[in-house]
Structure 1
């Protein structure tokens, strides 16, 4: 996932049949479970740290993907003969982030994701005409995800545990005044690799953890804070998501105070385009 900058991979059984999809969120859930006694564990507990690292490195996909067809990963395939609009409807309104594509024999031959549709939309943005100029404040699908936040001093392991608890793929990092400083997402798990020498990073504050991630993955982690204003257009949202390869973006009240008001996800964006079709 890290090498190819993706958040999920399809899993096939020994007969080549679809078994499920493993997501970065599944890995986050698995890693945080390794430290279930977090309250009693300190960074100096090297034996526990090494044992957890060994467990992580030797874990199989089956160990991590205990619920291959959970509500978070429903199996909703479509035949490759269906239209792109059908896929768009499912990804924008169906509560899924990706769709397996099957051939005439019912075998998985491809996968289409929300990110692919966002890239496609950006490459064909002129096709939606005036919809691209819709202001964020006028979005019809206004019930966007609420902002969950953490202070920059939060340990990375606690941030990941909060994502699992709230079932959210990202958290806003804010200061004591509620000003947006950064974003912490499931994708940031790549910062620990599979090496015990860097597993200690889970006990670093998120601001330090993110800095290390930016140094090691400069082409995969936005260098600057990414946000939009209520007065910005759908065009701006599409542009930033596509060019920066991000899955969510914060709407802030102003460029000065940077108080996050809501989160726009890829689902929200695809849904907004659908709702504006006449």
Structure 2
């Protein structure tokens, strides 16, 4: 696959459309760091240690979710105000005692901090990501400076445009999900009559980034994930939604953001799944049966693994 063979880790196509790299300091307040993620529509940012003058971990939405669900109750988050206002109020009332990035970064243990040299070829980077089951790597130049962030979602987005131009990828894309034996992972889901707060508790407990939502008949009707937190705006009273039933939470979110919940059937092709993921910028694809009951999940890591395995043949 030419893309993997020709691009280096320093390529400007990463980490996003504007090739902008955002980071936070370990001494930043959680409020400041959260605003950095939200304003740039990102789920994670590398953390800089000014004392040692190096980056050492990631600060992510999942870290914040873990702290929220383990240090407070839903009643604390029903008060008025945006997330920054509520955080500051909880800190003032000693209900949320952690105040800076260093206090909570990497608490979710979902983003191991692995770095690669800027001259590393992309095929080696993707192999490293699959081997270590990681979603992102930091890229450092010869001076030890952060020069790039490569994510599995961005790699997949780039590859989604190449099916018509790469013969190897074209052949792989014709195979069905069932034929490739992916999308067989157990589905973690929550009933639509549960509280949204319970969904985030489940996300934290299971160490995942998102869960499916099913109706009383067991049919898949949506999903809740850490990506939801990206739609918070300065005046958006997002936190008050957490005490709503999941069905009402999803309805409220649809009014302010596109729904990127996607699904497929076992017979759908790998190409269609990858292109759908890239178009919707989704982080998972639920596999459903003829009754629309979820029977599996295709993760970004599953997709990347198939690409790496095929590339090595």
TM-score (norm: length of structure 1): 0.84
Q: Does the 8 A contact of 1:101 with 1:112 survive in 2?
A: yes
Inter-partner Cα distance in structure 1 for 2:67 and 2:266: 37
Q: Which runs of 5+ in 2 are unaligned?
A: 1-36
Q: Does the 8 A contact of 2:264 with 2:287 survive in 1?
A: yes
* Alignment counterpart, residue 303 of structure 2, candidates 269, 273, 277: 269
Q: Does the 8 A contact of 1:188 with 1:210 survive in 2?
A: no
Residue number in structure 1 paired with 2:198 = 158
C-alpha deviation, 1:272, in angstroms: 1.1
RMSD between aligned residues:
2.7
Instruction: Find out whether 1:215 has 2:293 as its counterpart.
Output: no
Residue number in structure 1 paired with 2:143 = 105
Inter-partner Cα distance in structure 2 for 1:166 and 1:160: 10
Inter-partner Cα distance in structure 1 for 2:147 and 2:171: 36
Q: Which runs of 5+ in 1 are unaligned?
A: none
Q: SS in structure 2 opposite 1:73? A: coil
* Alignment counterpart, residue 173 of structure 2, candidates 128, 132, 137: 132
Instruction: Find out whether 1:248 has 2:289 as its counterpart.
Output: no
Given the superposition, is the C-alpha separation of residues 191 and 111 from structure 1 closer, same or farther in structure 2, using an over 3 Å criterion?
A: closer
Q: SS in structure 1 opposite 2:57? A: strand
Inter-partner Cα distance in structure 2 for 1:112 and 1:154: 36
Residue number in structure 1 paired with 2:226 = 186
Given the superposition, is the C-alpha separation of residues 170 and 241 from structure 1 closer, same or farther in structure 2, using an over 3 Å criterion?
A: same
Q: Does the 8 A contact of 1:53 with 1:194 survive in 2?
A: no
Structure 1 residues 199-214: aligned runs within 5 Å: 199-214=239-254
User: What is the number of equivalent residue pairs in this alignment?
Assistant: 264
Instruction: Find out whether 1:55 has 2:90 as its counterpart.
Output: yes
Instruction: Find out whether 1:24 has 2:24 as its counterpart.
Output: no
Q: SS in structure 1 opposite 2:38? A: coil
Inter-partner Cα distance in structure 2 for 1:121 and 1:259: 29
TM-score (norm: length of structure 2): 0.76
In terms of mean alpha carbon deviation, does 99-108 or 242-251 score higher? 99-108
